[in-house]
Amino acid sequence: MSLFVFSIIASLLLISVVKTEESQYEIDPNGYITFCLCMGRLGNQVEHFLGGLAFAKLLNRTLIVPPLRTNKNVPYSEWFQIESLRAYHRVIDAQDFMQELAPHVWPPESRIGFCWLPNNKPKSECKMKEGNPFGPFWNELHIDFVDTVAHNLNYDSNSIDQWNKLYSSDRYPVIALKGAPAPFPMKAQYRYLQKYMNWSNTIINEVQQYQQNLFNNTPYIGIHLRNDNDWEKACADVESYKSRSYMASPQCLDLPSSTHTYVTHKICYPSDNDILRLLKNIILRTRIHNIYVATDKRPMIKEIQEYLSAQRVHVKHLDPWLPIIDVAMLAHANYFIGNCVSSFTSFVKRARDVQNLPTAFWGFSN
Ligand X SMILES: *[C@@H]1O[C@H](CO)[C@@H](O)[C@H](O)[C@H]1NC(C)=O
Is 165 a binding residue for ligand X by CB under 6 A? The answer is no
d(CA 97, CA 29): 14
Binding mask 82-121 for ligand X (x = CB under 6 A): -xx-------------------------------------
d(CA 24, CA 4): 31
Binding mask 44-83 for ligand X (x = CB under 6 A): ----------------x----------------------x
Where are the strands (E) in the chain, listed by range?
Answer: 32-35, 62-65, 68-69, 73-74, 91-93, 112-116, 147-151, 174-177, 221-225, 290-295, 314-316, 335-338, 359-361
Is 354 a binding residue for ligand X by CB under 6 A? The answer is yes
Q: Which of 136, 143, 72, 139 is nearest to 102 (CA)?
A: 143
What is the number of other CB atoms lying within 10 angstroms of the CB of residue 49? 24
Is 211 a binding residue for ligand X by CB under 6 A? The answer is no
The least distance separating ligand X from the CB of residue 150, rounded to whole angstroms, comes to: 27
The least distance separating ligand X from the CB of residue 60, rounded to whole angstroms, comes to: 4
Query: What is the bridge-based pairing of β-strands 68-69 and 91-93?
Result: unpaired
CA angle 30/163/185 to nearest 5° reads 105
The least distance separating ligand X from the CB of residue 62, rounded to whole angstroms, comes to: 8
Q: Using an 8 Å Cβ cutoff, are 65 and 95 in contact? A: no
| Closest CB to ligand X: residue number | 30
Is 234 a binding residue for ligand X by CB under 6 A? The answer is no
The least distance separating ligand X from the CB of residue 90, rounded to whole angstroms, comes to: 7
- What one-character-per-residue DSSP string does 253-287 give? HTSTT---SS--HHHHS--HHHHHHHHHHHHHHH-
d(CA 92, CA 101): 10
Is 30 a binding residue for ligand X by CB under 6 A? The answer is yes
Binding-site member from 44, 95, 148, 198 for ligand X (CB under 6 A) = 198
Binding-site member from 29, 118, 122, 256 for ligand X (CB under 6 A) = 29
- Cβ distance to ligand X smaller for residue 193 or 293: 193
Q: Using an 8 Å Cβ cutoff, are 76 and 66 in contact? A: yes
- Strand-pairing partners, residue 174, are 32
Please count the residues of this chain forming the interface with ligand X, following the rule CB under 6 A: 10
Q: Which stretch binds ligand X (CB under 6 A): 23-31, 115-123, 209-217, 335-343?
A: 23-31
The least distance separating ligand X from the CB of residue 351, rounded to whole angstroms, comes to: 8
Query: Which residues of the chain form contacts with ligand X (CB under 6 A)?
Result: 28-30, 60, 83-84, 195, 198, 354-355
